[in-house]
Chains A and B, each alone.
Chain A
Amino acid sequence: MKRLLGVALGVLTAIGGFVDIGDLVTNAVVGSRFGMSLVWVVVVGVVGICLFANMSGRVAAASGRATFEVIRERLGPRAGLANLSASFLINLMTVTAEIGGVALALQLASSVHYLLWIPVAALAVWLVIWRVKFSIMENVTGLLGLTLIVFAVALFLLKPDWGSLAGQALAPAVPAEETAPTYWYYAIALFGAAMTPYEVFFFSSGAVEEGWKVKDLVQSRINVLVGFPLGGLLSVAIAGCAAVVLLPAGIAVTSLSQVILPVAEGAGKLGLAFVLVGVMAATFGAALETTLSSGYTLAQFFGWSWGKFRSPAQAARFHLAMIICLLVGLAVLATGVDPVLVTEYSVVFSAIALPLTYLPILIVANDPQYMGEHVNGRPVNVMAMIYLVIILVASLAAIPLMIVTGAGS
């Protein structure tokens, strides 16, 4: 019974934790401009993150090493450092976007300008990282994030023409008002939003934090294989709401208020209350995860002691690094840069940096010296190689498409 509860809790937090500011914004933007015609990308992205999280979780449980420890060992100091720099900077960008997202959600709830909320949000993130136990932090934000299901509820209440939505999703075509490069640019953005590298840093480091052993792999596999696809359904619901309400009205999403507008229309005040809690929990949870990820990556690469299971005094550099990251994110947001814009760039750069972490994990997941008998099976390797090609193509195509389309404008 306790085991069953553990599985249920794991699945629920995986669903609630799947959506972050990147998914919220990108799915709404895509829904409002391309309807459901990019839903296939969410499917590709969700399968990809399941595969990637499964491999990195297995590496962490079998070898006791988290992602960047593996990267440092496998790539050596030079390529490893280049890899760390790119991954770390993009993660920092995501931290910035998530804190901005928390502040924007607080602004929507309180009508107080988001710039005033930013220090509050950053302080709250720091306090939780400093004081709160890892499992509590994970479960509370994950469960509260479940309130985002209101996007799916709102979609039903809006009584859309299901046939036309399904038609857009199943026979994707570039809408007449948009160009093919823009379509593919947003395809990459959506892919980057679903397969953000921090999710994997966090997932594998979390596995070490929680002391996973090989026997826990079944549970982690269920969490991933059930939780992430259901989280992906939430992403689709966000896009669906935007496609039903915003696309016909000709509103292209540029702010968080537009992201939640369809929920207010479909599910009224109560729906709005739920979605605000959900957005806050999702962005706050992701702010915690990304901030921890920046500490994890640095500490794992440089060999500092790390982890929330140690007291801050025993992992001083790990905690100091996270404080500095939060301050940098704070400074960036203080310039008045639009957090939604930061988010849109961060998901594309996530897609660009993805091969840097994917390839080493794939290689190590095949290495019996790390994995013993738990190396990748043949079906997983076939899928993993197909995804390596997809990830490389997305990564290489992103910058040219960004230039050609003027970042999707």
Chain B
Amino acid sequence: MILGDLLGVHVYDDGGTRLGRVADARFVVDGPPRQLLADARLLGLVVSPHSASSFLGYERTGLDQPWPLPRMLRWRHRGSFLVLWEDIAMIGTKSVRLRAGFTAYSPALDGAGQE
């Protein structure tokens, strides 16, 4: 399985309630340093309740042009959240299940692409 297979997969909580679909995977570049960049580490998955399509970059709150595209795309992804890798109980080809008591973080990034 490659990471791309995860995109669009349904996400459930530990009680079996459907929460949405995987819209994105979030990485942080803080692994062991290499020549150019440090290794990327998978921080978690972005789950979106209404659409598994891409955010097209508008997860960064600093972007507000061209009106009204950012508003429309953010509306499409309303209610989306980031779950950390530690909060994921099981990953299958058809579904992803989260642990009980997982924390839903905001998927938003600032203009520079930082949390």
Which of B4, B66, B68, B111 interacts with A362 by CB under 8 Å?
Answer: B66
Within 8 A of A (CB), among B65-88: 65-69
Q: Verify if B31 is at the interface (C-beta below 8 Å from A).
A: no
Q: B51-59, B90-98, B100-108: which lies at the A interface? A: B51-59
User: Are A79 and B54 CB-contacts (below 8 A) given A366-B66, A376-B66?
Assistant: yes
Residue of B4, B24, B65, B113 ringed by the most chain A CB atoms within 10 A = B65
**Total inter-chain residue pairs, C-beta < 8 Å:** 44
A358 to chain B, nearest CB (A): 12
Q: Verify if A76 is at the interface (C-beta below 8 Å from B).
A: yes
Q: Verify if B7 is at the interface (C-beta below 8 Å from A).
A: yes
Q: A2-10, A322-330, A367-375: which lies at the B interface? A: A367-375
Chain A contacts of B24 at CB under 8 A? 76
Cα A385 to Cα B67 with chains together (Å): 8
Proximity bits, A314-342, B CB within 8 Å = 1, else 0: 00000000000000000000000000000
Measured CB to CB, the nearest residue on chain B to A381 is: B66
Residue of B62, B69, B112, B113 ringed by the most chain A CB atoms within 10 A = B69
Chain A contacts of B113 at CB under 8 A? 369
Is A376 touching B54 in the complex (CB atoms < 8 A)?
A: no
B107 to chain A, nearest CB (A): 15
Size category of the B interface is: 10 to 19
Chain A contact residues: helix, strand, loop or mixed: helix
Cα A360 to Cα B55 with chains together (Å): 12
Chain B contacts of A79 at CB under 8 A? 53-54
Chain B contact residues: helix, strand, loop or mixed: loop
Is B66 touching A75 in the complex (CB atoms < 8 A)?
A: no
Q: Verify if A215 is at the interface (C-beta below 8 Å from B).
A: no
Residue of A363, A364, A368, A375 ringed by the most chain B CB atoms within 10 A = A363
Q: Verify if B63 is at the interface (C-beta below 8 Å from A).
A: yes
Cα A79 to Cα B7 with chains together (Å): 11
Cα A369 to Cα B113 with chains together (Å): 9
Cα A15 to Cα B24 with chains together (Å): 44
Q: Verify if B20 is at the interface (C-beta below 8 Å from A).
A: no
Measured CB to CB, the nearest residue on chain B to A81 is: B4
Within 8 A of A (CB), among B1-44: 4, 7-8, 24
Which of B8, B56, B111, B112 interacts with A363 by CB under 8 Å?
Answer: B56
Which of A74, A78, A364, A375 interacts with B4 by CB under 8 Å?
Answer: A78
List 29 A-B pairs, Cβ < 8 Å. A74-B54, A74-B57, A75-B56, A76-B7, A77-B4, A78-B7, A78-B8, A79-B53, A79-B54, A362-B66, A363-B56, A363-B57, A363-B69, A366-B65, A366-B66, A367-B63, A368-B62, A368-B63, A368-B111, A369-B60, A369-B112, A369-B113, A375-B65, A376-B66, A381-B65, A384-B66, A385-B66, A385-B67, A385-B68
A contact residues vs B (CB 8 Å cutoff): 74-79, 360, 362-364, 366-369, 375-376, 381, 384-385
